[in-house]
Structure 1
Amino acid sequence: MFTFSVTAVHAAITRGRTDALMNGGFRNPHYGLAPGKDEKPGVWLVGDEGVYIMSNGKLAEGQRSLVVYAEECDPKTNPDYWHYKRQYFGGDDGIDYLDAEMLVRLIGAMPLATHLTITMTDDSMSITPIRR
């Protein structure tokens, strides 16, 4: 399970929208394999050196996306992040696109939620708002 604060999720979505406005749209969620298809607000859930969400607006030269690490899988705060990532995300690097509209609706359905949890299995992903 990976946990992200609702505030951080909103910040990543907002940053993606701002980057898109300033730099000509959103990056392709299909990794460039389907140009012009589904280029809309969202975040990427990325597993590589830790697990994090990343904004998806197009970027200016030298600019970087906003990156927010999962509480359990941040290399700066958890010395066992690699083992945690391997156990719950898998050993290989990976990326999944999460639609911003879906995330905002999910968070809005539970107004007292403070965090989102993302749970992955071999063939599914579930996203649940929680209150801490």
Structure 2
Amino acid sequence: MSNLIFKAADVLRVVEHTLAAPKQCAAFTGPVSEPSILLVHDEGVYLMSNGEPRDIAEGERSYVAHALGCNPKIDSDWYDTSRDLVGGDDFGEALPWAAEIKQQIEQGAQEIIITLTADSLELQQLPSRKH
């Protein structure tokens, strides 16, 4: 089991774009039924919007929110860390959690955590607050 940890401030742009986009691009496995985010492993591990038109950050590259330790621009061990967390094969997975993640951020989450096992992905829930 691995936990991918993302800074909520970085992920907010991803979920806001996908929720506001007029269209959603199909995932590798087929069409998506609701606004989704893409979990991708290629040049690091990151989340990106599947909304169209794309959210361009620079040149022709889409904006992405890297998992902690998995950003090739700032993490010297990004390659090994990425492989340790998600394995060696590149992949892209559409996750229908855009609205749920935005709600977590609006409720004060500083990090978004996605847990990976050999056969599942799970969005960790915020701990309930005591009043």
Give the TM-score category using the shorter length: 0.7 to 0.9
Q: Matched residue of 1:112: which SS?
A: coil
Question: Where does the alignment leave 5 or more consecutive residues of structure 1 unmatched?
Answer: none
Which among 34, 37, 53 is matched to residue 43 of structure 1?
Answer: 37
| Contact kept in structure 1, 2:6 and 2:112, CA below 8 Å | yes
Amino acid of the structure 1 residue aligned with 2:65: V
Question: Where does the alignment leave 5 or more consecutive residues of structure 2 unmatched?
Answer: none
Deviation string 1:9-57 (CA, Å, 9 cap, x unpaired) is 2210122344x33xxx11012x2x53xx434312101011100101111
1:120 matched to 2:113:
no
**TM-score with structure 2 length normalisation?**
0.76
> 2:24 maps to what in 1?
26
Q: Matched residue of 1:52: which SS?
A: strand
> 2:73 maps to what in 1?
76
1:129: how far off? 5.0
1:83: how far off? 0.8
**TM-score with structure 1 length normalisation?**
0.75
> 2:88 maps to what in 1?
91
1:58 matched to 2:52:
yes
**1:92 and 1:45 mapped to 2: Cα distance?**
13
Q: Alpha carbon RMSD of aligned pairs, Å?
A: 2.5
| Contact kept in structure 1, 2:15 and 2:101, CA below 8 Å | no
| Contact kept in structure 2, 1:3 and 1:115, CA below 8 Å | yes
- C-alpha spacing 1:80/1:130, structure 2 compared with 1 (3 Å): farther
Higher relative contact order (CA closer than 8 Å, sequence separation 6+) = 2
Identity %: 31
Aligned length: 120
| Contact kept in structure 1, 2:5 and 2:113, CA below 8 Å | yes
